[in-house]
Amino acid sequence: MSLIFCSRADDPDEWRAAFAESLPDLEFRIWPDVGEARDVEVALVWDPMQEQLLRFPNLKLIASLGAGVDHLLAATTLPDGVPMTRIVDGNLTQGMREYVLLQTLFCHRQVSAYMAQQKQQVWRQLGQPFAQDRRVGVMGLGVLGAAAAEALHQIGFAVRSWSRREKSQPGVESFTGLERLDEFLAGCEILVCLLPLTPDTEGIINRRTLSALPQGACLINGARGGLVVEADLIAALETGRLSQAVLDVTREEPLPADDALWRAPNITITPHIASVTNARSGARLVADNIRRIRAGEVPHHLVDPKAGY
């Protein structure tokens, strides 16, 4: 069995070594050196493949290198009947849990305000609410969102969640459906966005939804850049509608040097590092699914292309 690896964002040698440990009999090929196309049965991909996956007549599994698959679904023609999976890994989940906690506390404890005071050599204490009095909302209650909501609840925040489909979690006030979105947003002093990017969620953070937040709210987006209308976000920061924004993702990545987001006030930008797939743990997950395919079993963490995740 051969696997074709296609990702400009990941080190192929690192993944090759990881698969040598997890599945030593697997032949590891690196795009575009596909070799004999009919030998390829697994495609491990991050880059959009357009119609390239149709080249492999014996393909049995398409494995995304990340938790999200929106960019692949938008620009990849999937062969009929070939399952696609995504990475659901404890390390990936822990990374997002850490990032959300870090940035929520950054906003909650007014770190940017104190940094600005330091530059001006100002020694002044700012009023500080208790965590239980700070309302934090999590949009998206999938694997990553649920872990983030649990961590925020454990540290003492008043947590609420919003999802398109009904979900519940202990200690978290749940809101479901577009008809309750504004009600959810009205109680979010810090909004954490961890939604999947689908046609239904494209641009969901926009002028209208931002105006539904309390005055001076903070936004943290650790999901996908396409969820945010960036011009509306910049306007909200410039007018003070938002007091702070943290973006780990943007519509164009890497973010161009002349992009207006770099110059927006009270914004923190990180280069898509909130939660990064680890080669060793990721290879173990993909190897397990390859074994399941070989045994005629259904692989774990299947993607529903119609739902977009």
Same domain membership, residue 168 and residue 71:
no
Q: Of the listed 272, 284, 292, 300, which one is catalytic?
A: 272
Distances (CA, A) of 224 to 25, 109, 124, 191, 252: 36, 25, 36, 14, 10
Tell me the pLDDT of the chain averaged across its residues.
97
Same domain membership, residue 204 and residue 123:
yes
Q: Which residues pair with 243 in a beta bridge?
A: none
Instruction: Kindly report the CATH number assigned to the domain that includes residue 73.
Output: 3.40.50.720
Would residue 309 count as lying in a domain? no
Cα–Cα distance for residue pair 249/268, rounded to 1 Å: 11
- The reported pLDDT for the residue numbered 304 is 95
Q: Is 26 helix (H, G, I), strand (E, B) or coil?
A: coil
Same domain membership, residue 34 and residue 148:
no
Q: Give the residue from 186, 226, 187, 189 showing the smallest Cα distance to 206.
A: 226
- Establish whether 153 is a catalytic residue: no
- Tens digits of per-residue pLDDT, 186-206? 999 999 999 999 999 999 999
Same domain membership, residue 204 and residue 125:
yes
Would residue 302 count as lying in a domain? no
Would residue 129 count as lying in a domain? yes
Q: What is the pLDDT along the chain (309 residues), one digit of tens a residue?
A: 899 999 999 999 999 999 999 999 999 999 999 999 999 999 999 999 999 999 999 999 999 999 999 999 999 999 999 999 999 999 999 999 999 999 999 999 999 999 999 999 999 999 999 999 999 999 999 999 999 999 999 999 999 999 999 999 999 999 999 999 999 999 999 999 999 999 999 999 999 999 999 999 999 999 999 999 999 999 999 999 999 999 999 999 999 999 999 999 999 999 999 999 999 999 999 999 999 999 999 999 999 998 899
- The reported pLDDT for the residue numbered 160 is 98
Same domain membership, residue 38 and residue 158:
no
Same domain membership, residue 284 and residue 244:
no
Would residue 251 count as lying in a domain? yes
Same domain membership, residue 259 and residue 133:
yes
Same domain membership, residue 215 and residue 139:
yes
In degrees to the nearest 10, what's the CA dihedral of 30, 35, 41, 47? 40
Domains in the chain, number: 2
Would residue 303 count as lying in a domain? no
Distances (CA, A) of 173 to 219, 252, 306: 19, 33, 28
Would residue 206 count as lying in a domain? yes
Same domain membership, residue 123 and residue 248:
yes
Rg (C-alpha) for the chain, rounded Å, is 21
Same domain membership, residue 106 and residue 28:
no
Give the whole-number percent of the chain exceeding pLDDT 70: 100
Helix axes 279-294, 12-22, angle to 10 degrees: 50
Could you tell me which residues come within 8 angstroms of residue 94 by beta carbon, excluding any fewer than 6 positions away?
A: 147
- Establish whether 224 is a catalytic residue: yes
Residues 54, 79: contact at Cβ < 8 Å?
A: yes
Q: Which residues pair with 192 in a beta bridge?
A: 138, 220
- 45 phi and psi angles, rounded to 5 deg: -135, 150
- The reported pLDDT for the residue numbered 1 is 87
Same domain membership, residue 47 and residue 105:
no
Same domain membership, residue 99 and residue 44:
no
pTM of the model: 0.94
- The reported pLDDT for the residue numbered 146 is 97
Residue 228 structural domain: 90-269
> Could you give the residue ranges of the DSSP H alpha helices within the chain?
12-22, 70-75, 90-108, 111-119, 143-154, 181-185, 207-212, 230-239, 279-294
Half-sphere exposure of 46 (CA within 13 A, CB side): 16
Residues 39, 3: contact at Cβ < 8 Å?
A: no
Helix (H) / strand (E) element for 298: namely none
Would residue 84 count as lying in a domain? yes
Would residue 304 count as lying in a domain? no
Q: Of the listed 86, 97, 224, 241, which one is catalytic?
A: 224
